[in-house]
Amino acid sequence: MQLQQLRYFLAVADARHFTRAAELTHVSQPSLSQQIRQLERELGAELFHRARAGAELTDAGEALLPLARRIIADTESARLAVQETVQLRRGRVRFGATPSLCVSLVPDVLRAFRARHPGVDLLLREDGSRDLVRSLEAGELDLALVITPRDADAPAGLQVTPVLHEELVLVSAEPLPRRRARIEDLRERPLVMFREGYDLREATLAACRAAGFEPRYAVEGGEMDAVLASVRAGIGPAVLPGMVAARSGLAVAPFAGAGLGRTVSVAHGREVPLSRAAAEFRTVLLSHLADV
């Protein structure tokens, strides 16, 4: 059974005449009749009572009629759904990013993508890099912005592309004594520290330990909003990404010398190709990062 045969069947059923149905479907009457005969052979039943005055549905034809209409309607719906997805009038992107990136880079990227493709659904997951990598590996996300350690191998099964190196800075509610901070400044100043699992926590700890000391905490265990609120309340300074610090309204001092930094990368599955919507989102993301 072919879709075109069902379309011819519906045309005859509506017109009640083979010749008029052929005219409506822009096919010769013999060709249309041949296709209907072929359909009847495949179904094992006559579908029309044929007469010189026209054609009437048999009982078998009456039984087929609503099913044929439903099949053709579903086929058209499927065609339109695919076309809308290909043309990015519809679709879905499951995107993940770290909390610091969600309050700095991500809103502008989401706005730019929505302006171009308002019909595409965006699902955003905010999490630490390790959890985002696990979600990518499990197929729960299409792509994510993650922090990649220097000299670390990319996780198996993921395509990881470094796109941005971001400077980490010291922020405080009070004026900082120097325009450029030093790692040693953190030795005697209790810090507002992120929870375990945050890349910012690991970067700060690594820098302090490389300088020969363990930092002290005024408070620890916070998410990004809690850390910012604690710093604004004067509880202590914190080490933040430069893009977050620039919007914080706090006193900011970059670190002297080689300083502190982190690499932001776009990651997605290596084996499964990105959907059209996800690939377009990646293009918008990379374009935005190129201008940062």
User: What structural domains and CATH numbers belong to the chain?
Assistant: 3-86 (1.10.10.10), 93-290 (3.40.190.290)
Cα–Cα dist 180/120, whole Å: 44
Span 106-121, average pLDDT: 92
Taking only the tens place, the pLDDT of each residue in 159-170 is 999 998 889 999
Cα–Cα dist 234/67, whole Å: 71
Taking only the tens place, the pLDDT of each residue in 241-250 is 999 999 899 9
Taking only the tens place, the pLDDT of each residue in 95-109 is 999 988 998 899 999
Name the 3-class secondary structure at 203.
helix
pLDDT value at position 258? 67
Task: Output the six-digit token pair for 214.
Answer: 């363990």
User: Does pLDDT of 150 surpass 70?
Assistant: no
Query: Considering only CA atoms, which of 255, 213, 220 is closest in space to residue 236?
Result: 220
Name the least confident of 40-44, 90-94, 171-175. 90-94
